[in-house]
A and B are shown apart, each in its own frame.
Chain A
Amino acid sequence: MVPANFFSWLWDKLNVFATVFLGIFVEAVPYLLLGTLASGLVEVFTDRDQITRWVSKRPVASSITGAMMGMIFPVCECGVVPLTRRLFKKGLPLSAGISFLLAAPVLNPIVLFSTASAFGWADMLFWRFFLSLIIAVTVGLVFSVEKDSNNVLKTVFDSHEHEHSYQDKSMTEKIRQAFLITVDEFFDMGRYLVLGTTLAAGLQTFVSQSTLLAIGSGPILSVLIMLLLAVLLSICSTVDSFVALGFVGTFSFGSILSFLVFGPMVDIKSVMMYTQVFKRRAVFYIVAIPFMMSLLAGLLFNYLGK
Chain B
Amino acid sequence: MKQTISFDKLAISILLILLALVLVIIVWGESAGVRVVADVPEERGASPYQRIKITFSESVSTEMAFDLITMNPVHEAYLEWTNERTVYFVPVKPFELNKNYTLTVSAGVINASGGEIKNPRSWNFFVREPLVAYMFTDANQSGVWAIDLNGGEPKRLTSEEIKVLSFDAAQNGDFVVFTTLNENGGVDLWKVNRDGSDESLLLDCGLDRCTVPSISPDAKYIAYSREVAGPTPDIPYGSPRVWLLNLENSLNSPVYADPQVLGYNPSWSPDSQKLISFDGLADLINLFDLSTNQQFVFPSNTGGPVVWSPDSTKLMFTNIRQTEEGFRTQVRLADLTLNDTITLIGQNDEQDYGYYSLAWSSLEERAVMGFRLSEEQPAQVLWMFNPARLDGILIANEPEYTYNSPQWDAWGSTLVFQQFRLKGVHAPEIGYWQDGFDAPKFLTNGILPQWLP
Contact = CB atoms under 8 A, between A and B. Distances in A.
A112 interface: no
In this complex, the member of A217, A288, A305 whose beta carbon has the largest number of chain B beta carbons within 10 angstroms is A305
Contacts of B422: none
A151 B14 contact: no
Contact of B18 (A143, A222, A296, A300): A296
B6 A217 contact: no
A300 B57 CA distance: 11
A11 interface: no
Given A142-B11, A289-B14, A305-B35, A252 B4 contact: no
A289 B55 CA distance: 31
A146 B7 contact: yes
Interface string A129-150: 0000000001000110111100
Contacts of A285: 11, 15
B4 A293 contact: no
Nearest to A148: B3
A281 interface: yes
A151 B7 contact: yes
A296 B82 contact: no
B398 interface: no
Categorize the interface residue count of chain A.
Answer: 20 to 34
Nearest to B8: A281
B281 interface: no
B273 to A, nearest CB: 22
B11 A296 contact: no
Nearest to A138: B14
Nearest to B57: A305
Given A145-B6, A219-B57, A292-B15, A305 B37 contact: yes
B339 to A, nearest CB: 37
Contact of B3 (A145, A252, A289): A145
A252 B32 contact: no
B64 to A, nearest CB: 15
Interface in A260-303: 281, 285, 288-289, 292-293, 295-296, 299-300, 302-303
Given A220-B26, A252-B58, A299-B25, A293 B18 contact: yes
Contacts of B82: 249
A35 B6 CA distance: 33
Contact of B4 (A151, A218, A249, A302): A151
Contacts of B201: none
Interface residues of B, number: 33
Contacts of A303: 25, 28-29, 32, 35, 57
A250 interface: yes
A250 B3 contact: no
Nearest to B3: A147
A292 B55 contact: no
A289 B11 contact: yes
B113 A218 contact: yes
Contacts of B32: 303
Interface in A207-253: 217-220, 222, 249-250, 252
Interface in A147-170: 147-148, 151-152
Contacts of B85: 249, 252
B18 A289 contact: yes
A97 to B, nearest CB: 15
Contact of A288 (B3, B10, B15): B15
B36 interface: yes
24 contacts: A138-B14, A142-B11, A145-B3, A145-B10, A147-B3, A148-B3, A151-B3, A217-B58, A217-B113, A219-B57, A222-B58, A250-B83, A281-B8, A285-B11, A285-B15, A289-B14, A296-B18, A299-B26, A302-B58, A303-B28, A303-B29, A303-B32, A305-B36, A305-B37
Given A288-B15, A303-B57, 19 more contacts: A142-B7, A142-B10, A142-B14, A145-B3, A146-B4, A148-B3, A217-B58, A218-B59, A218-B115, A219-B57, A220-B26, A222-B58, A252-B57, A252-B58, A289-B18, A293-B18, A296-B22, A296-B25, A305-B35
Interface of A: 138, 142-143, 145-148, 151-152, 217-220, 222, 249-250, 252, 281, 285, 288-289, 292-293, 295-296, 299-300, 302-306
Interface of B: 3-4, 6-8, 10-11, 14-15, 18-19, 21-22, 25-26, 28-29, 32, 35-37, 55-59, 82-86, 113, 115
Closest CB pairs A-B (n = 10): A303-B29, A305-B35, A249-B83, A292-B18, A146-B7, A305-B57, A285-B11, A305-B37, A145-B7, A217-B59
